[in-house]
Amino acid sequence: MVVQTSPKMPPEECIRLEDKAAGLDGYIVIHSSARGPAAGGCRLWTYDDPAAALTDAMRLAEGMSYKNAMAELPLGGGKAVLRRPAGNFDRRALFEAFGKAVAQLDGRYVTAEDVGTGVEDMEAVALHTSHVAGRTARPGFAGGDPSPWTALGVFEAMKAAFAFRHGGASLNGATVAVQGVGSVGAGLCRLLAAEGAKLVLADIVDARVAALAAELGGTVVPIAEIAGVEADVFAPCALGGALDMATLDAMRARIVCGAANNQLATPEIADELLARDITYAPDYVVNAGGIINVAAEYLGENESEVRARVLAIGPRTTAILEKARDEGKSSSFVADREAERLMSREVLESL
Ligand code: NAD
C-alpha cells in the first residue's frame, strides 16, 4: 500500500553520499538535532533515482525525530537511505564507504540497521565510526534483537488503550486481531496469550501463522478478513498503510494498537478515526521499544533502563488518549504536538 505523508517540519540538513567505486549512492538526512545526535537506521532499497531516495530519507528522518522525542530519548531524528546497486556488488565496500561518510559527520548522525541492512553491515560501518548501533550483541549490554522490546511496548500501550476505552478493564478475555505475526507480532501474541486475551491471527506466510496458532491457541483467518473480524482490538503488525477508508469501513474493533510504522494510509485517516469514535494509539508512540533498545546500545545504558523506558509507553499512551478526548482532537494530532513540544527550545532548556 502507498503511504502518503506531508512534511511537518523541514529537515536541518540533507547530505548527498556518492562514491562510485564503492557503489555508494544515497543520502543522510539530519531532520532534527534539537534533542541530541540525529539517530535513525540506514535503509538499502531500490530507488529509481536519487530524488526518490531523498524523498524517502526526508520522510523517514522526520518520523525518527517525532519517535525519538516522544520516547524522551536524548536523540534527534535522522535517516540514511542508500540506493541498492544493480546486480552483484561488494557489500563490505559499500558499508565501509558509508561508515566513512558517517564518520565525517562527527557524531551528528548515529546509524543502525533498517530495511535491507543487518548486523554485518553495521560491523563494516563500525570499522570507521563509533556512531553506529545494531551491532553484534554483547552479554551484559543493551543491544541485540530489538523486536521483543517493540512487542512489550505495544503490549503496554494496548493495555493502556483498552483500560482507557473500558474504564480500567484488563485485556483478559478481550479479543485481539493481529495482522502479521513476524518478529514483533508473534512476540505481542505471546504476551497477549499470557494475559488471557483471545487471538485472531493472519499472515501471508501460512506456516508461520499456523505454527503460532498451534502454540498459543487462537483462530487463523485469511489476510483479507483480519481487519473485519469481530474483535476488541485491531493490531496492525505487518506493513505501513494498514488503515485506509476500506479497512475502516470493514473494521469492527473500536481500538487500534499495533507495531507497524506509518499505519495511516493518508493523514486524513486520523480525523476519520476520531469521527468514527475509534481509539487509535498512534504508531510511533507505541512502537518505540525497538529504537529505545538501539539507543541504549549507543548510549551505553543497561537492560533495566531499557525496560523502564519501554514500560513508560503505557502511561504515555494513556496521557495522549486522554488529552485527545478532552480537546476533541485526533490522537495523531495530539501526539505530533507533544513530540514538537518535546523538541522545543523551551522544554530542552528546562531539562
Ligand atoms: P517482520 O518482517 O518480522 O514481520 C512482518 C510480518 O507481516 C511477516 O510475518 C509477514 O509475512 C507479515 N505480512 C506481510 N504482509 C502482510 C499482510 N498483507 N497481511 C498479513 N501479514 C503480512 O517485521 P517485524 O520486525 O515484526 O515488524 C513489523 C512491523 O513493525 C513493521 O511495519 C515494522 O516497520 C514495524 N516495527 C518493527 C520494529 C522492530 O523492532 N522489529 C520496531 C518498530 C516498528
Tell me how far the alpha carbon of residue 284 lies from the centroid of ligand 1, in angstroms: 14
Domain ranges of the chain: 13-59+76-125, 147-287+317-338
Please give the Cα distance from 129 to 25 (Å, whole number). Answer: 19
Angle between helices 331-343 and 313-327 (to 10 degrees): 120
The pLDDT value recorded for residue 139 is 77
Q: Are 201 and 213 in contact (CB under 8 A)?
A: yes
Written as tens digits, the pLDDT of the chain (351 aa) is 334 455 788 999 999 999 999 999 999 999 999 999 999 999 999 999 999 999 999 999 999 999 999 999 999 999 999 999 999 999 999 999 999 999 999 999 999 999 899 999 999 999 999 999 988 877 777 788 889 999 999 999 999 999 999 998 899 999 999 999 999 999 999 999 999 999 999 999 999 999 999 999 999 999 999 999 999 999 999 988 999 999 999 999 999 999 999 999 999 999 999 999 999 999 999 999 999 999 999 999 888 999 999 999 999 999 999 999 999 999 999 999 999 999 998 888 887
> Among 3.90.1150.10, 3.40.1030.10, 3.40.50.720, 1.20.140.10, what is the CATH number of 147-287+317-338?
3.40.50.720
Tell me how far the alpha carbon of residue 232 lies from the centroid of ligand 1, in angstroms: 21
Q: How many angstroms separate the Cα of 224 from the Cα of each of 118, 202, 241, 320? A: 31, 9, 14, 31
* CB of 147 shorter than 6 A to ligand 1: yes
**Which position among 67, 79, 159, 198 bears the catalytic label?**
79
HSE-CB at 96 with a 13 A cutoff on CA atoms is: 8
Residue 79 is a catalytic residue = yes
Q: Are 258 and 284 in contact (CB under 8 A)?
A: no
Residue 149's Cα: distance from chain center in Å? 11
* CB of 203 shorter than 6 A to ligand 1: yes
Tell me how far the alpha carbon of residue 236 lies from the centroid of ligand 1, in angstroms: 9
Site to substitute for ligand 1 among 239, 261, 262, most atoms within 8 A of C-beta: 239
CA angle (70, 76, 82) in 5-degree steps? 115
Phi, psi of 173 (to 5 degrees): 90, -10
Name the pTM for this structure: 0.93
Residue 155's Cα: distance from chain center in Å? 14
The pLDDT value recorded for residue 346 is 86
SS3 readout for the chain: CCCCCCCCCCCCEEEEEEEHHHCEEEEEEEEECCCCCEECCEEEECCCCHHHHHHHHHHHHHHHHHHHHHCCCCCEEEEEEEECCCCCCCHHHHHHHHHHHHHHCCCCEEECECCCCCHHHHHHHCCCCCCECCCCCCCCCCCCCCHHHHHHHHHHHHHHHHHHHCCCCCCCCCEEEEECCCHHHHHHHHHHHHHCCEEEEECCCHHHHHHHHHHHCCEECCCCCHHHCCCCEEEECCCCCCECHHHHHHCCCCEECCCCCCCECCCCHHHHHHHCCCEECCHHHHCCHHHHHHHHHHHCCCHHHHHHHHHCHHHHHHHHHHHHHHHCCCHHHHHHHHHHHHHCHHHHHCC
The pLDDT value recorded for residue 8 is 82
HSE-CB at 337 with a 13 A cutoff on CA atoms is: 10
Tell me how far the alpha carbon of residue 44 lies from the centroid of ligand 1, in angstroms: 17
Looking at the CA of residue 147, tell me the nearest atom of ligand 1.
40
Cell numbers standing for residue 306:
531499557
* CB of 238 shorter than 6 A to ligand 1: yes
* CB of 152 shorter than 6 A to ligand 1: no
Architecture (CATH level 2) of domain 13-59+76-125: 3-Layer(aba) Sandwich (3.40)
